[in-house]
Chains A and B, each alone.
Chain A
Amino acid sequence: MITDRLANPELVECEVGGVTRASFILRGALAAGAVYGTAAVAPFVSSALGATTDLDILNFALTLEYLETDFYQVKAKTVGLTGVAAHDAANFGMEEAAHVAALTSAIRAAGGTPAPKPTFVFPVKTATEFLGLAYTVENLGVSAYNGAGPLLKSKALLGAAGSIVQVEARHAAAIGLLIGKSPTPSGGFDEAKTMTEVLAAAKPLIK
């Protein structure tokens, strides 16, 4: 699974506009995906993954955390959540915002520039729809971190990513229980998705 991502190591040194192909492509992937569609962008992202830097991964994670934060802190207020669901959304929103803050400072500390926050569009109107999407988004987050984790070169960053993904998994399980879905949708072993797969899944939520 890991070695699949190294399919095109020759692309590692390619440069586009003065930055490595890998970082260029991943930084621009979400924006480009919005313009050209994920299908057009995905192959480039896939090619670049073998050369993914820690900063690329952090910015990739940051984008997902922006999405989750917006979802819980903005969208949640429009769908009429009550009781445990409202309580969870408030808590989880604060936790996602803390992830955004941590990733932003980690990116700055590593000499990088945090990716800009995209505009999100969440196609949900009711509490039920919101929770259904929350379950999808949290599970996607888990698979994104689990897929990207082994690509991180810094052990400190791996520890930080591990600390965050554990919380995403907890969110996913709690939401699952609320909506009658399995807290362990992949059984004994959680899925790991490539960044390409994650970006494709997140694409419909990015304006």
Chain B
Amino acid sequence: MTTPSSLREDDEMAPQTRGIVEELVRDDFGRKKFLKAVGTAGAASFGAFVLAACGSSSSTTTTKTSTPTPAPTPAGASVPASFGSGDVGILNYALTLEYLEDQFYAKVVAAKLFSGAVGSLVSEFAYQEVQHVAAIHATVLKLGGTPAAKPTGKFPITTAAAVAKLAYTVENLGASAYLGQAGYITSPDVLAAALSIHTVEARHAATLATLVPGGHVTPTGAFAKPADSATVLAAVKPFIA
């Protein structure tokens, strides 16, 4: 049997796997350990976040924190006025999300929860989020705007299984956040940049899907779903100190 396999939970490991998949399998952070870990790690503690990311209306109560509610989104705008208007506002909203992803991955890398091929991928993704922050920050300045302040993130960095699941959720949320803004961007150059980041977040999400029990490469099937800024900001609220 020469067919490659993956860490997809509903599949058995092929005895002969290749390349990165092979490394993933051999990794001490392999699928079986993963499944075992998830059984004991409190996946439920992320339930509220996952619900919020899915836009469930019931999640607003469970994710409520003392963080002040962002200013309402003005009519015709796609992000709260506090981020700025037009493309600058959208970029600052994206910058805020990228700052959070950046800090999240930095903490994950520092915690050394992952090793081997998975560790390499996580480090790669971490670096790519840093690049997104830098690019968006520079673009805001180029457009004459003031870059959004860096939020202080707080993330539950516990077990590898829980962190992978959180990363999967965060990346899916990020991808849907970009998709939700595409139609509001006016500059073709800003749109091109946003699209090029959007699909990288999707690639991250799909990669993490293979590590998470019950993860799906395409969780919403043939068509990815956008998320508006209110949904996204409510979902990330618990992760801002």
* A residues at B contact (CB < 8 Å): 1-2, 80-88, 91, 94-96, 98-99, 102, 127-128, 131, 142, 145-146, 149-151, 155-156, 158-160, 162-174, 177-184, 186-192
Docked complex: B148-194 residues within 8 A CB-CB of A: 175, 178-179, 182-184, 188-189, 191-193
Q: How many A-B residue pairs have CB under 8 A?
A: 196
Residues B182 and A158 in contact, CB atoms below 8 Å apart: yes
Chain B interface size band reads 35 or more
Those 4 A-B pairs whose CB atoms lie nearest each other, nearest first:
A180-B19, A166-B224, A98-B222, A188-B131
Q: Which of these, B14, B132, B224, contacts A188 with CB under 8 Å?
A: B132
- Report Cα–Cα, A87/B188, bound state, in Å: 37
Chain A residues with Cβ under 8 A from B178's Cβ? Answer: 162
Chain B residues with Cβ under 8 A from A83's Cβ? Answer: 1, 3-5, 11-12, 14
Chain A residues with Cβ under 8 A from B188's Cβ? Answer: 2, 150-151
Chain A residues with Cβ under 8 A from B191's Cβ? Answer: 149-150, 158
Residues A173 and B6 in contact, CB atoms below 8 Å apart: no
- A140 CB → nearest B CB, Å: 13
Residues A187 and B3 in contact, CB atoms below 8 Å apart: no
Main secondary structure of the interface of A (DSSP, over half): helix
- Report Cα–Cα, A146/B199, bound state, in Å: 9
Question: Which of A95, A127, A158, A188 has the most chain B CB within a 10 Å cutoff?
Answer: A188
Chain B residues with Cβ under 8 A from A145's Cβ? Answer: 195
Residues B218 and A170 in contact, CB atoms below 8 Å apart: yes
Question: Which of B22, B198, B200 has the most chain A CB within a 10 Å cutoff?
Answer: B200
- Report Cα–Cα, A2/B195, bound state, in Å: 13
Q: Which of these, A149, A160, A170, A178, contacts B195 with CB under 8 Å?
A: A149
Residues B192 and A84 in contact, CB atoms below 8 Å apart: no
- Report Cα–Cα, A178/B131, bound state, in Å: 26
Residues A184 and B124 in contact, CB atoms below 8 Å apart: yes
Residues A158 and B183 in contact, CB atoms below 8 Å apart: yes
Residues B179 and A174 in contact, CB atoms below 8 Å apart: no
Q: Does B8 have its Cβ within 8 Å of any Cβ on chain A?
A: yes
Question: Which of A94, A166, A181 has the most chain B CB within a 10 Å cutoff?
Answer: A166
- Report Cα–Cα, A145/B195, bound state, in Å: 9
| Per-residue interface assignment for chain B, residues 130 to 147, with 1 indicating a CB less than 8 Å from any chain A CB and 0 otherwise | 011001000000000000
- Report Cα–Cα, A146/B197, bound state, in Å: 10
Chain B residues with Cβ under 8 A from A183's Cβ? Answer: 121, 203-204, 206-207
Chain A residues with Cβ under 8 A from B128's Cβ? Answer: 184, 187-188
Residues B222 and A162 in contact, CB atoms below 8 Å apart: no
Chain B residues with Cβ under 8 A from A180's Cβ? Answer: 4, 18-22
Residues B204 and A1 in contact, CB atoms below 8 Å apart: no
Residues B226 and A177 in contact, CB atoms below 8 Å apart: no
Residues A192 and B192 in contact, CB atoms below 8 Å apart: yes
Residues A84 and B203 in contact, CB atoms below 8 Å apart: no
- Report Cα–Cα, A174/B209, bound state, in Å: 9
- Report Cα–Cα, A174/B21, bound state, in Å: 11
Q: Which of these, A127, A149, A159, contacts B2 with CB under 8 Å?
A: A127
- Do A159 and B22 form a contact, CB below 8 Å, given A169-B199, A177-B207, A190-B200? no
Residues A163 and B179 in contact, CB atoms below 8 Å apart: yes
Residues B195 and A162 in contact, CB atoms below 8 Å apart: yes
Q: Which residue of A lies closest to B207 (CB)?
A: A183
